[in-house]
Amino acid sequence: MSLEPVTLQQLPTDLISDLLPQHVAVIMDGNGRWAKNQGKPRIVGHQKGVDTLKDLLRCCKDWGIPALTAYAFSTENWGRPRGEVQFLMTLFERVLRRELQEMKEENVKIRFVGNLEDLPTSLRQEIDRSMEDTKNNQGTQFTVATNYGGRHEIIQACQAIAKKVEQGYLKANQVNEDLFEQHLYTQGIPHPDLLIRTSGEMRISNFLLWQVAYAEIYVTSTLWPDFDRTEFHKALATYQQRDRRFGKVKS
Ligand code: IPE
Ligand code: IPE
Ligand code: MG
């Protein structure tokens, strides 16, 4: 990984610490196009994308942003060529094994969200281990959405709630937003304030459908492997200029 300019190791002076998002979510898109632009196979872009994510996680710590969520693999991504899917699964496993010790030292609390049961067993073992080993950490809350689909998440919450109603533990009129949230994969994690999508695509692609209800959306044409601290700085500066009204009018 390249060394960052010294100035960006700390929060840039034009950003106001009190106005930083408390939770940033990223749709890490454009790895394939990045590789193609270099005349390389798509997997090279995925590999480079890992370095980008690693530095963004560290940047959140350096700049005082307590929570980061990254979209690593969607429920729809199984539809990609078999070789690419296999490469990604192996990459996740290898990176997790390689980075766990450092994340522990940096006090990161890692959590995976998604339908984890359908992931390869060896990857699941690494996932379980990483979550267990970091569960008491108080530093950056790092959430990785893997085999994640917002629709799937909502359906599984509905099923879990319906079952409780069916078994008589709950009444239908007790189902409210708070209870529903408790059945989402992201239970206990605050909603994102800022959603970043790289590579210029202006869509959500089934990510955190419930949770982004009031997130500020920032789209950049920069491809994910090129999304460095300078790019993150731009996203945060834009965020700080937004007027978050939450449906109300200014008093
Ligand atoms: C995002 O980059 C990574 C994953 C979805 C795993 P892409 O692989 O979607 O890259 P593009 O969009 O094809 O350039
Ligand atoms: C979204 O990117 C999923 C991840 C970043 C993991 P995609 O590349 O899969 O999304 P679409 O196909 O452009 O909507
Ligand atoms: Mg893509």
- Condensed to tens digits (0 to 9), the pLDDT of residues 145-163 reads 999 999 999 999 999 999 9
- Residue with the smallest CA separation from ligand 2 atom 3 is 74
pLDDT at 6: 53
Q: Which of 33, 205, 207, 220 to mutate to test the pocket of ligand 2 (most atoms within 8 A of CB)?
A: 205
With a pLDDT cut of 90, the percent of the chain lying above it is 96
* Domain 19-148+192-239 CATH assignment equals 3.40.1180.10: yes
- Condensed to tens digits (0 to 9), the pLDDT of residues 154-201 reads 999 999 999 999 999 999 999 999 999 999 999 999 999 999 999 999
pLDDT at 251: 66
With a pLDDT cut of 70, the percent of the chain lying above it is 97
pLDDT at 38: 98
Q: What is the whole-number distance in angstroms between the Cα of residue 196 and the centre of ligand 3? A: 14
Does residue 2 register a pLDDT over 90? no
- The DSSP result for the chain, as a single string, is -PPPPGGGGS--TTS-GGGS-SEEEEE---HHHHHHHTT--HHHHHHHHHHHHHHHHHHHHHHT--EEEEEEEEGGGGGS-HHHHHHHHHHHHHHHHHHHHHHHHTT-EEEEES-GGGS-HHHHHHHHHHHHHHTT--S-EEEEEEEE-HHHHHHHHHHHHHHHHHTTSS-GGG--HHHHHTTSTTTTSPPPSEEEE-TT----TTSSTTTTTTPEEEE-SS-GGG--HHHHHHHHHHHHH----TT----
- Condensed to tens digits (0 to 9), the pLDDT of residues 77-113 reads 999 999 999 999 999 999 999 999 999 999 999 999 9
Q: Where residue 250 falls among pLDDT bands split at 50, 70, 90?
A: confident
**Domain ranges within the chain, ordered by starting residue:** 19-148+192-239
Q: What is the whole-number distance in angstroms between the Cα of residue 153 and the centre of ligand 1? A: 21
225 Cβ below 6 A of ligand 1 = no
